[in-house]
Amino acid sequence: GAVVSQHPSWVICKSGTSVKIECRSLDFQATTMFWYRQFPKQSLMLMATSNEGSKATYEQGVEKDKFLINHASLTLSTLTVTSAHPEDSSFYICRAKPQRAGRAEADFGSGTRLTVV
Amino acid sequence: EDQVTQSPEALRLQEGESSSLNCSYTVSGLRGLFWYRQDPGKGPEFLFTLYSAGEEKEKERLKATLTKKESFLHITAPKPEDSATYLCAVLAGYGGATNKLIFGTGTLLAVQP
């Protein structure tokens, strides 16, 4: 089956520093990748949608200068949280949509727990 | 506004005690309804996709059903390892452009031995 690898699984960083999270599709090509944020006991909130080779589309209220998304290849997308603050602490999850048509079951990564201290 | 609501918020069952989780939705142009299982600290794991009212899918102790306004996830004779948060999500919108999933807040299921 399709596998999406997300790294790191958890990270602790100091306020003001930047953190990069990687999302890789291991056995398929993903033309589209999605980045979600999940707070405790809350739903997954879509942050942005990225298509390989083009700029990401951000959801309303998501700061694109703070959450930098790069989708440089069909198997890798990165989310960089710049100048992180404690309120950025959350669970971040990527989702990769395979290139082949007709498959609606895009696969999720295992998530990254970010704690900003 | 497109909306997905799951109930109950939390459910505690005894091992072997069957029950159902509900996902009700109001969306324009349903293209698919998804059920996921999420363990603590992990990403969602895909369970089922349902596309049209009347459709049913089964996997081990789980069965998902769909009507025009809601979906049920039936759990038959659950075991402790079925304990997790179950998420429902809807893919909505007309045309081929959107792939945005709208998630419910989930049902936290605890199965006690």
**Residues of B in Cβ contact (< 8 Å) with A104:** 31-32, 34, 49, 91
Residue of A nearest to B92 (CA): A104
Q: Which residue of B has its CA nearest to A2?
A: B46
CA distances in angstroms from B8 to A44, A73, A75, A101, B35, listed in the order given: 17, 41, 37, 35, 15
Are the beta carbons of A81 and A89 closer than 8 angstroms?
no
Q: State both tokens at B16.
A: 């072997």
pLDDT higher at A89 or B94: A89
Q: Provide the pLDDT for residue A105.
A: 60
Q: Is the pLDDT of residue A65 over 60?
A: yes
Tell me: the pLDDT tens digits for B39-74? 998 999 999 999 999 999 999 999 999 999 999 999
DSSP count for chain B of H helices, then E strands = 0, 11
Please report which confidence band the pLDDT of residue A2 belongs to, taking 50, 70 and 90 as the band edges: low
Q: And the tokens for B43?
A: 């990403």
Chain A hits for B46, CB-CB cut-off 8 Å, are 105, 107-108
